Each structure stands twice: as C-alpha cells, then as structure tokens.
Amino acid sequence: MSDSLIHADDLRTALLQAQTRRHFLRTLGGGLGTLFLGTSMTKYASAANGAGHSESSNLDFTRDASSPLAELPPQFAAKVRRVIYLHMAGAPSQLELFEYKPDLKRLDGQDCPASFLAGKRFAFISGVPKLLGSQYPFHQVGQSGQWISDRLPHLEEHMDEICFIKSMHTDQFNHAPAQLLVHTGNARLGYPSLGSWVLYGLGTENQNLPGFIVLLSGGKSPDGGKQLWSSGFLPSVYQGVQCRSHGEPVLYLDNPPGVSRPLRRSMLDAIDDIDQQNYAAFGNPETVTRIAQYEMAFRMQMDATDAMDINKEPESVRVRYGSKPGESSFANNCLVARRLAERGVRFIQLYHWGWDSHGAEAKEALNLGFMDRCREVDQPTAALLADLKERGMLEDTLIVWGGEFGRTPMRENRNGQVMKYVGRDHNPGAFTIWMAGGGVRPGIAHGQTDEMGYEIVKDPVEIRDLHATMLYLLGFDHRKLNYSFQGLEQKLTTVRPARVVAEILA
C-alpha cells in the first residue's frame, strides 16, 4: 500500500520535472524565436505597408500601468480636443434633407433608367423601380446659401457653421457592416472603434469619467451593436462605456445599502493588490484594464452621476434642447453630451435609431416616421451647436453628423410591388454627412453627386478619408496612430491609402 503511494509520488515528481523542463525549453527556444519573428516581421510588414512613406519613427503610446488612460499630447498641434459624433442609425435620406435635386423632382414617378440598375445590388428594390423626387421643398439659407429642406427649421439657422461632405462613399449596403465601417474602419467584427483609437492616442483629461462615452436613443440599439464602440484588439480599457441618460448612468454604480464608501475603498484595495500581483506575474494588459475599471467606477460614483444629471441645468437650457428629464431621448443625450464635453470627456458618441426609411410601415415612411425623426433631432442638434458656440467650446470640439450610407433616388418597390408608404432603399454609392467645429471650414459643401443624387461625380470621400481627416483635426497623422497586432501596425484607416480632405479644413 505504502509502496504504491510512494510510487505515485515519484510519478508526480517526474511528471512535474518533465513539464518544467519542457516548459523551460519551449519558452527558451520557441519563445526567443517567436520574439525575434514578432519584432522583425512586424518591421517588414510595416515597411511593406508603408511603402512610399517614411516610417522611421513610431509614436510611443506606452503609459504607466497604473494609469492607462493618462493624457498624451497629440503628434501635432491639434485643432480639436474632443469629438461629439451624432450617428443617425439606419441612414437618413440625404434627398429629403440636404441634397437639392430639382431634376429628380421633375422626373418623379418615371421608370428608373436601366443604367441605374445594371450591375447594382439592392437590399430590397427589384425589377424596374420609379424615380422618386424629394418629399419636401428645399430652400437656400444663410450667407453661404446652402440648400436645406423644410424638415430641419432649427438646424438651418446654423448652416453657415456647417461643412457638408456630399460625396461620402461606402462599399457596404447593409446596416451592421456599414456602421462597423463608419465606426471601426472595417466592415468586419473585431476592430477598434474611432473613439477607442482616439482614447488610445490621446488618453482623457478627466480621470473620474470614462474617456469614451456612448449614449443611445430612438428606442433601439444600432444594428452594429456594441461592436461599434468596442476596443477590438486594443486593450479593453479603451472601449466605449455605454451610459444611460437617466437614473444611475451605469447600473449598479452606487454602493449597495449597508456598504459605505470607506468599506468599498478597502475592498477595492484588496482586489487591486491581488490584481497587481497577477499583473506582475503574467503582464496581461487586461489585468490593467480590470484595475483601471474598478478605480474608474469608484471615482465615477462621485462624478458620473453629477455629469449625467440634466436636472442640474437651468430650465431655460432644457427648454432650448427640448429635453425632458427621465426620458431616453436624443434631446437629453445632446444635453448630456455638452455636460460631458465640458468635463473633459474625449469622445462622446450618440446613436439615434430609426432612420431606415424603406416605407414598409408607417414609422419608417419618408412621409410619416421620417418627419418624427427629423423633429427628434432638429432642435437638440441646433441647441448643441448654439450652446457649444456660446461657451466657446465649438472652437476645440468636432461635431460629426451622419448615417452609414445614403438612400436611392428610386422609390423602394419591395417584391416589385407599389408599397403603401413612400420609402427609399439603401445607396452606398453616395451619402451626405456634415461636420462643424474647430479646424473645419464652415459654410461649404464638398463633393457633388449627379443630377439624381445617385452617384458621386466630384471629389469622392471614402470612410477612411473621413477618419484620416478627423484624426488630423485631433493632431495625428493617421499612419502614425497605430498598434502592432498580428504582425501588422494596425491603423484605423487600414492598409489602404487614405487622404486627409484638405479642402474642408479651415
């Protein structure tokens, strides 16, 4: 009996020794080899990738492990310090808002020419659809004389502040991949979002709030889901934090009954201690994320609730935005966005759902639901612009407004039938976005589409060009804001050449 026990012990010892030796050898040989390949191959990959550009110096984004969100200066003097991105999920129709196309109106109801359909793929259009003129009248406003429909009466007062890009192009015609492309530079899952890149590059000013905050309205999450604010392969400390616009901004942020703040602190200290040991042993950046999240949550208990509380704003301001405390509305989110911007939050991402105007039902009809969407965003967007301007913050804030693609100049005819409501199908070929704020030339429209608003005829702008331009305004050469992953110096603008749209810079 005892013999067999000793035998088992010996076996175990032998097994342990064998494992240790194997482990050692693997670490030594394989590890060194991998290290070498990892470093040298990355160099080759980046050299091939950056052919034609000087890749001599890479920017250093390393930070102390205890403060992964510490602020870093931009590469060059930045035009803006923060971004408020207003994403109209579902893709609003440019032909009902900003694209004035009288010829399309004239040809309303006629058969769509065959040249529009040859070689094209549509989400729903089949057979030969009819051309559809704008549902709303257009007029020119401001000193810049830009065209706008009658759906955005508040926003039109700010047209001289706004810079349109009417020649945006995408290669995705379904919502989720198109939104991923807009927000991560890639139509596939797994890439860091715009906000994550910015947070990685610049850190955040206010360490008591997340640096990248996401607010949703419109009753539904965008089709792209939480991937739209994920940090992809960047350490997850850079991912967007989705906050609620009323009540506790983050669920379970408050201490439960019977737990005092000092008690919470000593609990966190114990957890941190264990995590620090873990990090010292394995060096996994996700451990740093975990420590940072605990600490952030502790600090947020004080500051986040205050920052998100629009009841602290005077009545006059709430009226201006059209916000009603307690609702989950775009108006409330715009007001919160301004409060967050004031507090040094780097990237504020709003999503307003419901712009997918196919015309299959009343709430997504251009002549019904679309009017409600316009009403929901018009006043708050205008108020946000005005408010930031008064406070001198439009100088160093970049506001971006837009969807994920455009809509067709043809009326949607699902299954070849005339539909009950009026709608348009997806058009990746051309769409309109606008920007306002620091470094952007106000009161201009860049790019041009054909007479039908169907395809770009002048100055096309790819999504990656938009990203390069945004990063430029934030003080970066988009090629230098990179992160080594899978042997490639990964960039928001991917490996394809991107151009900073110099024409829209002030």
- Footprint on this chain of other proteins (rule: CB under 8 A): 54, 56-57, 59, 70-78, 205-207, 342-344, 389-392, 395-396, 472, 475, 477, 480, 499-500, 502-503, 505
Rg (CA), the chain: 26
Residue 3 or 64 having the CB closest to other proteins: 64
Q: What minimum distance in Å lies between the beta carbon of 325 and other proteins?
A: 22
Q: What minimum distance in Å lies between the beta carbon of 299 and other proteins?
A: 12
The single-letter DSSP state of residue 447 is -
The single-letter DSSP state of residue 322 is T
Q: Are strands 82-89 and 488-491 parallel, antiparallel or unpaired?
A: unpaired
309-326 core/surface letters (b: 16 or more CB in 10 A; e: else): ebeebeeeebebbbbeee
Which stretch of DSSP H or E encloses residue 431? strand 431-437
Token pair 């305004």 is found at 473
Residue 11 or 59 having the CB closest to other proteins: 59
Distance CA 222, CA 193 (A): 14
Residue 44 or 76 having the CB closest to other proteins: 76
Q: Are 359 and 422 in contact (CB under 8 A)?
A: yes
Distance of CA 455 to the CA centre of its chain: 25
Residue 258 or 314 having the CB closest to other proteins: 314
Q: What minimum distance in Å lies between the beta carbon of 493 and other proteins?
A: 13
Residue 454 or 472 having the CB closest to other proteins: 472
Give which of 81, 46, 162, 85 is closest to 467, Cα–Cα. Answer: 85
Distance CA 46, CA 33 (A): 19
Looking at this protein, which amino acid is placed at residue 405?
A: F
Q: What minimum distance in Å lies between the beta carbon of 246 and other proteins?
A: 23
The single-letter DSSP state of residue 58 is P
Q: What minimum distance in Å lies between the beta carbon of 436 and other proteins?
A: 15
Distance CA 378, CA 381 (A): 5
Residue 314: partners with Cβ closer than 8 Å, 6 or more residues away: none
Residue 55 or 108 having the CB closest to other proteins: 55
Q: What minimum distance in Å lies between the beta carbon of 392 and other proteins?
A: 4
Q: What minimum distance in Å lies between the beta carbon of 344 and other proteins?
A: 5
Q: Are strands 406-411 and 424-427 parallel, antiparallel or unpaired?
A: antiparallel
Distance CA 38, CA 84 (A): 37
The tokens of 392 are what?
């001198």
Looking at this protein, which amino acid is placed at residue 389?
A: K
Residue 180 or 237 having the CB closest to other proteins: 237
Residue 57 or 62 having the CB closest to other proteins: 57
DSSP bridge partners of 448:
458
Q: What minimum distance in Å lies between the beta carbon of 360 and other proteins?
A: 43
CA distance to 46, 100, 292, 355, 369, per residue, from 135 (Å): 50, 11, 51, 15, 13
Q: What minimum distance in Å lies between the beta carbon of 310 and other proteins?
A: 17
Residue 318 or 424 having the CB closest to other proteins: 318
Beta strands in 243-391 (DSSP E): 347-353
Residue 120 or 343 having the CB closest to other proteins: 343
Q: What minimum distance in Å lies between the beta carbon of 444 and other proteins?
A: 13
